[in-house]
Amino acid sequence: MTDRNHRSFALSRRSLVKWGGAAALAASIPVTIAAATAGAEPTGKSVRLRWLGTNSWEFTTEETTVLIDPWVSRFPTGAYTEAGANPETKIEVHEDVIDEHLPKADTILVTHGHWDHIADVPYIAKKTGATVIGTETHLNLLRAMDAPEEQLGQVVGGEFYQFKGCTVEVFKSTHSAKGDHKKIEFAGTRTSVPKRPMKIKHLVEGGSLTYLLDFGGVSFFNAGSANFHQHQTEGLTPTVLFIQPGGGHTPDYVERLLKATGYPRYVVPTHWDDFDKPLTEPAVPGGDIETLQKRVAKASPDSEFVRIDHLEHHDFQS
């Protein structure tokens, strides 16, 4: 298989910054994916990717565990009903569920401030000692929920950090908007620490971020909502692109994102489940994942569409 993910490597400023010497050589090695149940022994650098519903992802290597938007306390909100999420829904944090499914973390990356992305983060941070990255608003919301101050790292987009076992590049992004007036659900910012959020309406979007995680030969590009900044994204060549079935109000969202990221070898659908349903059961679609798969196949026929179910994992190896 031709390594399409790295065909523009020589022209990418970001790649030149991040890669050099042996790392550049490693980037040219074909990457394979196999289900963990397939029984194949790892042959090189390996990243285990596990889905915990919504946009909650766990990346595990021998060196590190990174979480994006870790949220497993799935309480009913009506988000996928005709009426939509009830803003008066009380926030619940199910510590027993978190302990069962998220036992460790070194780094936590927050894409935006909605409840289904950050409500569990303070407890996870206190339990694991993980560094938490987010915007000023995200961190102020987390402070209001007793997240440890010394573990919080504020970003705005544009940062490039070395963490244990991986690098993380941060991109300013945009949340998807709805209706003729392009409204973002639960919009807002917090420039100081508010009262403790008690209802889901109190966890405001607070600016959106996209992350490029690179584990030295295997890279992942994840946005927490169905929108992105195209001109900041163009020229990236991730191994794996996470993409959502939303974006109905974002023109040509799927097609533009695939093009901007160099038609990645692997496309993983995210945030496609009805998160009022149990995490321990197979995902019930909350978005039109079948149409998403067809759009990906048409726009990028060489990309492999890798659908992962609740609590399943796949191993990416270099």
Q: Please give the DSSP secondary-structure letter assigned to residue 233.
A: H
In the chain, the number of structural domains is: 1
CA 310 from centroid of its chain's CA atoms = 15
* Burial label, 259 (beta-carbon count in 10 A; 0-12, 13-18, 19+): middle
10 Å Cβ neighbour count for 37?
A: 9
Residue ranges making up the domain that contains 188: 4-38+46-317
The sign of the CA dihedral 62, 64, 69, 73 is positive
What CATH number has the domain bearing residue 101? 3.60.15.10
The 208-214 sheet, strands edge to edge = 160-163, 166-173, 208-214, 219-223, 240-243, 266-269, 304-305
Per-residue pLDDT of the chain (318 residues; tens, 9 = 90+): 434 333 333 333 343 333 333 333 333 333 333 333 333 444 457 999 999 999 999 999 999 999 999 999 999 999 999 999 999 999 999 999 999 999 999 999 999 999 999 999 999 999 999 999 999 999 999 999 999 999 999 999 999 999 999 999 999 998 887 778 778 888 999 999 999 999 999 999 999 999 999 999 899 999 988 889 998 899 999 999 999 998 778 899 999 999 999 999 999 999 999 999 999 999 999 999 999 999 999 999 999 999 999 999 999 987
